[in-house]
A and B are shown apart, each in its own frame.
Chain A
Amino acid sequence: MSHFTTIFPAILPTTLPAILPTTLAVTDAQTINAALLVSALLFTCGLIGFLTRRNMILMFLCTELMFQAAALAMIAFGRMHHDVSGQVFVIFILTVAAAEAALALGLVVLLYRRRETLDSEAWSELHESA
């Protein structure tokens, strides 16, 4: 399920123009609006998921989701300006997301080793003293 939500939005923008350039009775504007809407929805899902989850890996998963939402928005704006830079930037985003995943998961592993739990509440003592 999580893979689906991660990979599918990445594949779709790259293939959609190739597969359905003009056959669908959809204008560019509608496409772009739709893409941006989906991006917004994905971002919101990711944000809400991040804010409400306690499992560190799931929190990180939601940040990845927010990344992909940004990537989708990039595609849409690239289409809007007829500039392939948007799609180029998506490659960057994917790369950065991957690198960050490595870092974050490394940190999660270390944190897990300390407290034997993936609960982020375990680290709530790192706060401003009263």
Chain B
Amino acid sequence: MLELASLPTAALQIPPAIASPEFAWAGLILLLPVLSALLCLFCGAIGVKSKLPGAITAIALVASFATTLTLFLKLPADAPRTIHMFDWVAFAWTGSSATGAVVWTGFLAPFSLYVDSLTLLWMLFVTGLGSLITIYATEYMEADVGKGYTRFFASVSFFLFAMGALVMGGNLIVLYLGWEGVGLASYLLIGYFYTRPSAVAAAKKAFIMNRIGDLGLALGVFLIWQNYGTVEYDALFKAISAGSAPAAESASWTAAAIPYCLMLGAFGKSAQIPLFVWLPDAMEGPTPVSALIHAATMVTAGVYLIARLYPMFVLYPDALTVVAWVGCLTALVAATIGMAQYDIKRVMAYSTVSQLGYMFLGLGVGTSFGAVYHVFTHAFFKALLFLCCGAIMHGMAGQLDLRKMSGLRKVKGFGVISWTFLVGCLCLSGFPFTAGFFSKDSIIAQAFASENPTFALLGWIALFTAFLTAYYAFRVWFRVCGGPIKIDEPGDEMHGHDDHAHASSSHATNAHGDGGHSKGGHGKDGHAAHEWHPHGPGFAIKGVLLVICIGALLAGLPSYLGEMRHEPNWVETMVEHSSAASGIPVHEHAAGGHGHHALSFTGIEDVHTATSVVASTVGILGICLAAFFHLFNRGAADKLRAALLSNGLTRWLPLLLENKWYVDEVYNAVFRFNAWVLGHVLHFIDKQLIDGLLVNGGARIPMEIGRVFQPLYNGALQGYAATMAGGIALIVAWVFWIWMHGA
């Protein structure tokens, strides 16, 4: 149990925000993408058929990044700053709560920005990667110019606005706006190839699963307002540090429920158990979308939420334990699935889920620095990995199966891709001195160093997952880029992820001078008319890959400077000065040895150094295992798989992994199937009972009554006369009866 008493209470004091209208130009960071989106829509309306929307978006986003950079350089680091943009939601009244503990005077959510170091750190990589990936996409999506190009860039611009609103928003309502906005943008972009049913299904799945998480977030926001009387960060942090809110005993369970509700939202957006199955399916979208949204920015929104509201979570250590466990288990499960996938984009998708699990583990064990640092480094190397996959796909006409290509490093035009891919894989595996090494290790070290003994178990699981991560990352690299050149001609994979990649490859010989010939793949040289060459990418793609590669390498620089040269770790200081640092001591090298810890068997006193050593060893072991199975002895992998499948006991292992632990099937059986049945039952009730019986049946009553009397009107005059006579007789009898009874 994490001892709250051991936490420096001063850390809970977040300085009150200073209103800074002089920085109102920071609103440009949000307005530029909005402007770009509107211009793209306008282009779409007037039917622009060139790459203009791409250029507009790229320029707007680069300008947005420049503004962020200027803000970063110019903003004094003393206290968080609020920048009020305009009044938005404002309901004010006078009143007090029943117990008198909280006075609700209104529900105020102005559209304001809360800028502290965490915000700046996040926005730097969001806008930076956003602009780079947009530049990449201007070339990648060129096959769609005139068809969906404008729609793509309008959606990307809208996405960056929403992400900016999410990160920079000054209250939970602006965050929620951004949250929903990124969900919408994700839906639009995953379903970009809307003529393909699998893409449409994936988009719906992503959106619906996000909605389940959003329920948690919405409830969390409501409960925060109910307990603390405000949704604005500044006032909220004041209320938390003043210890005012859960004073009312009756409100205490609702206050304790806040972190769990917020956690559900974070798990939905960041694809953790149980809401992670949408992310692999989201690979149906174009690769720049996968790189930007589903690797670097949108999926980190859940981590941001918890980091931003960390003071709330620190009050409830049990909630942090739940976060840690969920994160760790997700990391493990996703890594095991990633090991068995053949589609390289899917491997990267599961890798993203796994690394997000690491980030939540970091938040849960108490190192928000480690988590945020991992977000930062992961954004770079994961975006790099996805962009490399995209470039491969672009050149291979939609082919993504790692069994079907090999030796790309030697293919002309794919050199840059292969070597930047290698850098990405090294970072992902936590190879010593890469960015991923520093960030992952700070998380694992904290797991071992934490006072909660169960976290040491999580540390071991995280180490094992690191081993698996290194293995699957290098499985992909050794298979695709290593070994002899052997490329299967894309036959049936043309229906694969990006149809347009095929169209562009048919222009290989004239459009791209550096189109390469593959040696092994063509058995039939007589087919000169159908000869297909994998072609290397053009300047935009290669340039962006190189820039991001450098960024991925540099992302480790703060730690290198911090640990090796004992200068302050830049990311660490950024996190420390923000609301994410409250409660837990961030990095205590100076606090001396941590005494006995789980890694003491290595004989190294300092837990951080011990973790680094063990984690590097584990990572290198994973690389070696991957080298054995996928570089030197490729047949061994298939033989092992066959051996496992043949034995009745171990048969389940490859089956489970290849079929993603049957999670989708379980969800289908438990939720979708039952919902489908319920839907049909309700449809039956609606159509047959409510429509048929009540509505139509009710309408038939007058009709049937009419039918009863219809024979009276048969056109026979005598019948009418007889009826009349009968009526008169009745009346006479009645009058007579009254007269007889003296009425």
Contact = CB atoms under 8 A, between A and B. Distances in A.
Interface of A: 47, 50-53, 59, 120-121, 123-128, 130
B710 A130 contact: yes
Contacts of A121: 716
A105 B717 CA distance: 16
B714 A124 contact: yes
Given A47-B725, A128-B710, A52 B718 contact: yes
Given A47-B725, A51-B722, A124 B716 contact: yes
A72 to B, nearest CB: 18
Contacts, number: 30
B713 interface: yes
Given A51-B722, A51-B725, A123 B717 contact: yes
B721 interface: yes
Contacts of B715: 123-127
Q: Which residue, B714, B715, B717, B725, has most C-beta atoms of chain A within 10 A?
A: B717
A59 B713 contact: no
Contacts of A47: 725
Nearest to A125: B715
20 contacts: A47-B725, A50-B718, A50-B721, A51-B722, A51-B725, A52-B718, A53-B718, A59-B717, A120-B718, A121-B716, A123-B717, A124-B714, A124-B715, A125-B715, A126-B715, A127-B713, A127-B714, A128-B713, A128-B714, A130-B710
Nearest to B714: A127
Contacts of B713: 127-128
A120 B715 CA distance: 9
Nearest to A128: B713
B72 to A, nearest CB: 85
Interface string B612-637: 00000000000000000000000000
Nearest to B728: A47
Contacts of A124: 714-717
Contacts of A59: 717
B710 A120 contact: no
B298 to A, nearest CB: 66
Nearest to A127: B715
Interface of B: 710, 713-718, 721-722, 725
A50 B713 CA distance: 18
B241 to A, nearest CB: 84
A105 to B, nearest CB: 16
A40 to B, nearest CB: 11
Contacts of B716: 120-121, 124, 127
A127 B716 CA distance: 8
B714 to A, nearest CB: 5
A64 to B, nearest CB: 15
What 6 pairs between A and B have smallest CB-CB spacing?
Answer: A127-B715, A124-B715, A128-B713, A120-B717, A127-B714, A51-B718
Given A126-B715, A128-B713, 18 more contacts: A47-B725, A50-B721, A51-B721, A51-B722, A53-B718, A120-B716, A120-B717, A121-B716, A123-B715, A123-B717, A124-B714, A124-B715, A125-B715, A127-B713, A127-B714, A127-B715, A128-B714, A130-B710
Contacts of A51: 718, 721-722, 725
A59 B715 CA distance: 16
A66 to B, nearest CB: 10
A44 to B, nearest CB: 10
A15 to B, nearest CB: 31
A13 B308 CA distance: 115
Contacts of B714: 124, 127-128
Contacts of A53: 718
A50 B723 CA distance: 13
A52 B721 CA distance: 10
A120 B716 CA distance: 8
A121 B716 CA distance: 7
Contacts of A120: 716-718
A47 B718 CA distance: 10
A123 B714 CA distance: 10
Contacts of B725: 47, 51
B735 to A, nearest CB: 16
A50 B724 CA distance: 12
A53 B717 CA distance: 10
B38 to A, nearest CB: 62
B420 to A, nearest CB: 83
A52 B714 CA distance: 16
A123 B710 CA distance: 17
A71 to B, nearest CB: 18
Contacts of A125: 715
Contacts of B722: 51
Contacts of A50: 718, 721
Nearest to A126: B715
A108 B73 CA distance: 109
A130 B706 CA distance: 10
Contacts of A130: 710
Contacts of A128: 710, 713-714
A126 B725 CA distance: 20
Contacts of A52: 718
A130 B714 CA distance: 10
B518 to A, nearest CB: 80
A23 B714 CA distance: 55
B292 to A, nearest CB: 70
A59 B722 CA distance: 13
B743 to A, nearest CB: 22
Nearest to B717: A120
A124 B714 CA distance: 7
B307 to A, nearest CB: 77
A51 B729 CA distance: 15
Nearest to A130: B710
A82 B19 CA distance: 111
Nearest to A50: B721
